[in-house]
Amino acid sequence: MTSIKEQAAISRLLSFLQDWDNAGKVARNNILNNFIEANQGKTAPELEQEFSQGASLFLVRLTTWLRLTYMTGSPLDKLLRSIGVFLSAVSSNRYLIEFLEVGGVLTLLEILALNKIKEEDKKESVKLLQVIANSGRKYKELICESYGVRSIAEFLAKSKSEETQEEVQVLLDSLIHGNPKYQNQVYKGLIALLPCASPKAQQLALQTLRTAQSIIGTTHPSIVDCVLKVLCTMHLEVQYEAIELIKDLVNYDVCPALLKGLVALLIPSFKETSKLQSQIVSDSSVLELTAHLPLFLQQAAAAKAIGRAQRCPGTAAGILARHNTTLAEEMLHLRVIHSLMAAMGNTDHSNSQRQASLTLEYFVQLFPVVEENVRKTMGEELYKLFLSNAENLYMNIDSIQADILAANKVNVTRVLHLSGLSYSNMSFYFGHSNEDQVAYITHFQKEDVEEKE
C-alpha cells in the first residue's frame, strides 16, 4: 500500500494534469511559464520527483498540444521551451524516445517550413533539433532520414534573423560530426546553399563547409563552380569566407580546376559584361553602380584570392605562400600574368586594378622570367611606376597605359624554362599519367629557344 505522503503527491499530480486538461490558451500559457521557471535545468530524476514519477504524463500532453496547434499559427515558443526542459535534462533518454515515437522530429521539421509560424518559434524548434542531434549518432541519422538536411538548409536560406541562422549553423555542424552515414548528404546540402540570396546564409554555409571538407576528405565536383560564383558578392564577410575555403580546397583533387577557374575570372566575359552594362544604363537610379558589376567584383576577388595567401607566408592555409611556390608556378602555365595585367587595365573597376597589381608584384619578385616579360610589355616608364607603388598604380596611369595593360600579349608559358621550372613541377598540373602533354610543353620550349638562337 502507498503511504499517505505518496498518495498526496499523486493527488497533486492528478490535480495538475486536470488543471491542464481543462485550461484554455491563456491558462495553459501561465502553466507553462510556471513550469519553465520552476524546472529549467533539472535532471530527469528531479523531474520525476517533482511529478511523483509521472512526468511523462505531462510530456505527452505537451507533445499532443504541439501537434494539434502548430499548423494554426499559434505561438509555440513557451510550448517548445517546456518540451526542451524534458529533452535537455540529464538522463533524459526516456523522454527523448517518447517524444520521437509520436513523430517529434517530423513535427519540428515541418514547423521550419510553415510561413505562418513566427521566427522566434522556429528558432526554438531548431534548438530542440540540436538537443536531439547531440544525443547520439542514431538520432542524427533519424533527422537526416526524415529529409531533415533539406528542410534545415532551406530554412537557413530563407530565415530573416541572423541569430536564428547562427542556431541553424550549430545544428548543421552537429549533423556533420559523428554521422558517417549521412555526412555526405549534409556536405551536399551546404554546397547547395551557396547560390542562395541570403549573405548570412552564404557566410555560415562557407564556414561549415570548411569543417565538413576536413571531415569528409573528398570533394564534390560542383564545389569549385559554386565557390567561384560566390566571389561576385558585394559582402566582404562572404568573400572572406569563400577565399578561406579556396585556401583549403587547393589541398584536394579539385586544385587544378580551382586554379584554372580563378585565372579565368580575371578576364570577365565581354558578352556577360555588356549584358549587365545595358541593364544598368537602362535604369537611371543605378547609373553609379557600374563599378560594382558582379563580374568585376568577381574579378577583383579572384585576384585577391590568388594574391592574399601569397602575402601571408607561414600560415597553414597559404595556397601560394612564399614557402610553397609550386602552385604559383602552375598558375604561370595558366597564363596568370597575362590575365592579371588585363585586370590591371580595367578602368571600370579600381579594386580589380589594385588587387591584380598587388598580386602581379609578387610574381614579378618571385620569378625572373615574369619580371623580364612584364618589363618588356609595360615599357620602362610604366614599369617604374609599377615598381614604385604597385598598390596605387591605378591612380597614376593614363588611358594609353591602361590600354597597354588591357591588351597585353604576355605569354610566360613559352619561356618558362628560363625560370628553371622542373619536370616534376609541370607534372603536378598535368598529372603523372599525362606525360605526352608535359613532353609537348618541353618540345614547345625547345622550339622557342631555337627560334631565339
Q: Do the beta carbons of residue 302 and residue 266 sit within 8 Å?
A: yes
- Stretch 370-399: mean pLDDT: 95
Phi-psi region of 153 (alpha: psi -120 to 50; beta: other; left: phi over 0): alpha
| Verdict on whether the full-model pTM lies above 0.75 | yes
| Cβ neighbours of 77 (radius 10 Å) | 15
Mean pLDDT of 231-255: 94
Please say if the pLDDT value at position 276 is more than 80. Answer: no
Taking 70 as the threshold, does the pLDDT of residue 176 lie above it? yes
pLDDT at 308 over 70: no
The pLDDT assigned to 142 comes to: 98
**Dist. CA 134–CA 175, nearest whole Å:** 8
Q: How far apart are CA 447 and CA 420, in angstroms?
A: 17
> pLDDT digit string (tens) for 183-220?
999 999 999 999 999 999 999 999 999 999 999 999 99
Q: C-alpha cell of 407?
A: 591588351
**pLDDT number for residue 284:** 46
Q: CA–CA separation, 427 vs 418, rounded Å?
A: 17
